[in-house]
Chain A
Amino acid sequence: MRTVVVTDAVREVDGRVDGDRLLIPSDALAGATGWELKPQGLCRGDVCVPVGDTDGLLVDGMIDLASLGAALHWPTVVDAPEGVAAMTEPAADRAAVLAALEAPDFTLPDLDGNPVTFSTFTGKKKLLVAWASW
């Protein structure tokens, strides 16, 4: 079924519901989550998280998203009947970056849908304002 996985981006993949588990094909892992299964563990960019038992991630050869979140220690919500899952960074990792006073980079659409990357403005002082219509 159409499965939506949200991490730092929203990605869609063909997945399968197995009871309360949501499974995605192992060859779709990187495309769906940004994480890759390598000999040294689960890797994303320069970061690798060792995984003791990679078989524990698999059900019938597919990746179980809840087990993936547990292996990464990423807070994870799986709504299997609806085919939607979301994973967020562990608080300790996010806190380390914020306490180091490093501004994270991000890319978001402007009101015309054009992507804007924050680091384009390196070299300028920025007053970053988060606001909302509500």
Chain B
Amino acid sequence: MFAIAVDESADHARPWVEEGKCTFPVVYDRDRVAVEALGIINVPTVLWIDEHNRIVRPQDAQFPNDNLIAFHGRASEGHLDALRRWVRDGEAPLTIDEARAGARLPSDDEQLARAHFRVGVQLLRADKREAALAHFETAGELSPIDWTIRRAAIALRGDDPFFSPEFIEMFQGWQEAGRPGYNLA
């Protein structure tokens, strides 16, 4: 396991890491450096990466248990079973062609949205809230289905990432768009 907290500070991530008694590396990515490099637009997203740093299962939303299944609709069991077979028996989850076809690729608008988000977080850190929120809004318009930008910005500006009107609207738009980020079966 290698965990990346898509969070603004170590203190945001720490309570979960301590409660989970994590024995694996946990880093945090406040400027979305690895998130961008890996093409991640949602959490929780997993990638399987082999000994030679080849991606054998591309970005996909998967869950450790079924606690929130009513919300996301993805059962954990099939993924976890396949993961055990890969680790124990070396059974590849996908052919190379399937993995390639399953990789989610970004658009230029999504990349530009990440640039706006990065300007926004810099401004927020400098207590320039109004200017920051303008960049978050533009980022959300350019990449409305990217949770690492849009839902994160809802939390960063101090609104409720579960029940704020913007999140409810975002969630509906994301469902209508075919739930991007939920890439593989």
Contact = CB atoms under 8 A, between A and B. Distances in A.
> Do A and B bind?
yes
Interface of A: 4, 6, 8-10, 75-77, 79, 81-82, 84-91, 94-95, 97-99, 101-106, 108-113, 116, 118-119, 121-134
B6 A10 contact: no
Q: Chain B interface: which size bin?
A: 35 or more
Given A111-B17, A127-B46, A102 B122 contact: no
Interface in B15-36: 15-17, 25-29, 31, 33-36
Contacts of B34: 104, 106, 108, 118, 130
Contacts of A121: 2, 25
B119 A84 contact: yes
Given A101-B103, A111-B17, A128-B49, A86 B54 contact: no
Residue of B34, B46, B83 contacting most chain A CB atoms (<10 Å): B34
Nearest to B131: A82
Contact of A132 (B5, B10, B115, B119): B5
A103 B55 contact: yes
A122 B155 contact: no
A88 B149 CA distance: 14
A133 B5 contact: yes
Majority secondary structure, A binding face: mixed
14 contacts: A6-B118, A75-B114, A81-B131, A86-B115, A91-B106, A98-B38, A102-B53, A103-B53, A108-B34, A116-B27, A127-B2, A127-B48, A130-B3, A133-B13
Interface string B147-167: 010011011000001000000
Nearest to B90: A125
Contact of B10 (A6, A9, A82, A112): A112
